[in-house]
């Protein structure tokens, strides 16, 4: 199955439909009046649909087992058509579109099976997704355009050419993936004043400045000490999200001193310097963190008084 370990858990919903077209009004009347010999069509089909949703991963090989936390089935009769709508919700790392469509298709097949003794002209059609929410697609269009970012790698060894930077490049790739323009990428030593000066320098031209490295507990790890005094407002929720996400993957994540806050209308993030730490931190908060720029932009237009 596709690897979803890097994804964050969000509320995800999907609504699917299927249409059962019968050949006579008498069939519709038999369904509505509960005169079908095999039993109550609506109720039997609903039960079949509920089982189908919960067991989608058994039927469809690439679907992940996931916690189905809500399922609702609705019917609508339009002439000779029985329209089936099914809504599925979960709080998980991957969506429930296939689960919803699987449920809709099994409901339709159950109706076909129950009605075929009294109607030989039944057709199932238009099984498909009506709508979905949650995951990256729900946040992408809500983010403002043309966000510019600077990435600063804080490392004595990398600045001296002893080691190669990988964490900063991971961050750059992730930003580009989410449509953020990276205007600057540079490496500096673990020097408090240099880190602080870079924060002021880059916030003049960029909405987002990400530092990577220097968030540990060694004597040379001074990135938090450099940034915390100059941040105008801390954003503890971002810091908590990064550590919480990392803790589920690597127990040592609790030792990271990641920092998030604002200088003017710019966001400052200080992330771990290890490649995995940087990647997991970015996975934890992107693209959702980009919504903050919409809030900051709106705040600029609030009347003063």
Omega cis (within 30) before 241: no
List C-alpha distances in Å: 102 to 43, 70, 110. 17, 15, 12
Burial of 111 (0-12, 13-18, 19+ CB in 10 A): buried
End-to-end CA separation in angstroms for the chain: 56
Lay out the sheet containing 123-133: strands in order across. Answer: 70-78, 81-92, 10-21, 123-133
How far apart, in whole angstroms, are the C-alpha atoms of residue 22 and residue 74? 18
Tell me the C-alpha distance between 47 and 110, whole Å.
10
- In degrees rounded to 5, what are phi and psi of residue 276? -65, -40
- The residue from 3, 62, 78, 113 that is catalytic is 113
The answer to whether 78 is a known catalytic residue is no
Q: Could you give the residue numbers annotated as active site?
A: 113
């Amino acid at each position: 199955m596709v690897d979803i370990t890097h994804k964050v858990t969000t509320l995800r919903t999907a609504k699917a439909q299927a249409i059962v077209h019968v050949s006579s009004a008498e069939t519709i009347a038999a369904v509505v009046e509960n005169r079908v010999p095999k039993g109550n069509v609506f109720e039997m089909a609903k039960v079949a649909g509920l089982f189908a949703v919960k067991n989608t991963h058994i039927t469809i090989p690439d679907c992940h087992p996931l916690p189905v936390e809500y399922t609702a089935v609705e019917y609508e009769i339009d002439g000779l058509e029985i329209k089936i709508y099914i809504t599925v919700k979960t709080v998980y790392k991957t969506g429930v579109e296939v689960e919803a469509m699987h449920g809709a298709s099994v409901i339709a097949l159950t109706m076909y099976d129950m009605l075929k003794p009294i109607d030989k002209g039944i057709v199932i059609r238009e099984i498909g997704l009506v709508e979905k929410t949650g995951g990256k697609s729900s946040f992408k269009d809500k983010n403002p355009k043309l966000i510019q970012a600077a990435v600063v790698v804080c490392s004595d060894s990398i600045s001296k050419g002893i080691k190669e930077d990988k964490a900063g490049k991971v961050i750059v790739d992730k930003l580009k993936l989410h449509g953020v323009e990276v205007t600057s990428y540079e490496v500096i030593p673990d020097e408090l004043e240099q880190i602080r000066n870079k924060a002021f320098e880059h916030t003049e031209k960029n909405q987002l400045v990400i530092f990577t490295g220097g968030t540990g507990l060694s004597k040379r790890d001074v990135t938090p000490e450099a940034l915390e005094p100059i941040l105008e407002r801390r954003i503890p929720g971002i810091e908590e999200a990064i550590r919480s996400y990392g803790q589920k993957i690597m127990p040592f994540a609790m030792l990271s001193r990641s920092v998030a806050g604002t200088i003017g209308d710019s966001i400052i993030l200080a992330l771990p310097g290890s490649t995995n730490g940087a990647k997991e931190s970015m996975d934890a908060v992107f693209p959702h963190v980009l919504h903050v720029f919409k809030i900051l932009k709106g705040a600029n237009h609030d009347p003063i008084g």
